[in-house]
Structure 1
């Protein structure tokens, strides 16, 4: 493999990390908020409001049901509006983020469902406000599950970023398709796949370590 190709793969790796990091942070924050909204507004919860829960749940379900490759094409006008272009790394982050938000929300909701109702009832009995219950009970008690949810999301974003690269989003997917597949260079394909695997393993190991630490605390 030539030096130029190694440099290109290195640059593509940084692009992939950039896409995953930024979209992961934004979708993590918004997905956490949406997941909390799903949990606290469902019937029987601290801010129960059925219409809000049904609307939020429907939006999340619709977002999760759209295949990523179709989503990328469908929101091209919105992507252009946000970043000024529909191709490149910055453009790819828009559909990546939008696709990940409902995914995170459902995972967060699942993590919150694992919390014992008795803890919430005890907090209410002591006069805790809904805000205090969210910040002092729900988030701390679901900390391990939240970290697991974010880890799963980042791993998913890595695979999504490869698909984004295949349609002009840059990153390792772009290099693998353009220089590996289209030019019949299996070594380039192998290297890009290996880097993606290493990324996934690294993220998973880091996430597992953080979950153990959070659960220990």
Structure 2
């Protein structure tokens, strides 16, 4: 049996983690999709070929992906404060979570689009489809399984990042594990947070895999 106080702590940590990851997933999903589309359409031979812009955008994405999350937390703290007014708490943690996930998902989006057959795009062009019709009705539609699978990977990564946000008082299960499990040597809290994180990752992965399989069969 789990003690009532421990159950309350774990539930609060789970709710805070779900809030952080949920909002960050929404924002990074939209941002990563937009950046991924820009990477594809501005590439050489793309629908809006702009090699220099593509190079700069790719460089920015690579820089964003290369920074360890724990360093990013500190590095963008002035930006976080300017956006939400503080660098502590669950809402503040959403900012670095989103900033770290956008370039991560953008590369996945780019890879998913590249898997769409060139002949499909050429056929749409031959039928008179506009550039943005090709993006919306061809690339996005054909790449849906890869986009969903990539978003699933991104959510799993965000769950791990949210735990690290506890280092700066970001709340959630990571903060709970740090304050009670590590600093106070309460092993039951540490074990509980680890179990909940494992369950959350497994649930997200299973749901994402199932949805990706459904979309790939349509």
Question: Do the structures match in fold with TM over 0.5?
Answer: yes
Shift of 1:174: 0.6
**How far, CA to CA, are the matches of 2:191 and 2:5 in structure 1?**
17
Shift of 1:185: 1.6
2:69 maps to which residue?
68
The alignment status of 1:118 with 2:128, answered yes or no, reads no
The alignment status of 1:133 with 2:137, answered yes or no, reads no
Q: After the TM superposition, which residues 20-99 of structure 1 pair with which residues of structure 2 at under 5 Å, given as runs?
A: 20-99=21-100
Can you list the C-alpha shifts for 1:22-51, whole angstroms capped at 9, x where unaligned?
Answer: 000000011001001101110011111111
2:182 maps to which residue?
181
- Structure 2 residue matching 1:201: 3-state secondary structure: helix
- Structure 2 residue matching 1:45: 3-state secondary structure: coil
**How far, CA to CA, are the matches of 1:152 and 1:216 in structure 2?**
20
For structure 2, the 5+ residue unaligned runs are none
**How far, CA to CA, are the matches of 1:123 and 1:2 in structure 2?**
61
- Counting matched residue pairs gives 217
1:145 maps to which residue?
146
Measured on the aligned residues, the alpha-carbon RMSD in Å equals 0.9
**How far, CA to CA, are the matches of 2:167 and 2:10 in structure 1?**
15
**How far, CA to CA, are the matches of 1:203 and 1:3 in structure 2?**
27
**How far, CA to CA, are the matches of 1:73 and 1:82 in structure 2?**
15
Shift of 1:167: 2.2
TM-score for both structures, normalised by structure 2: 0.97
1:109 maps to which residue?
110
Shift of 1:166: 2.5
**How far, CA to CA, are the matches of 1:191 and 1:183 in structure 2?**
15
Shift of 1:2: 3.4
TM-score for both structures, normalised by structure 1: 0.98
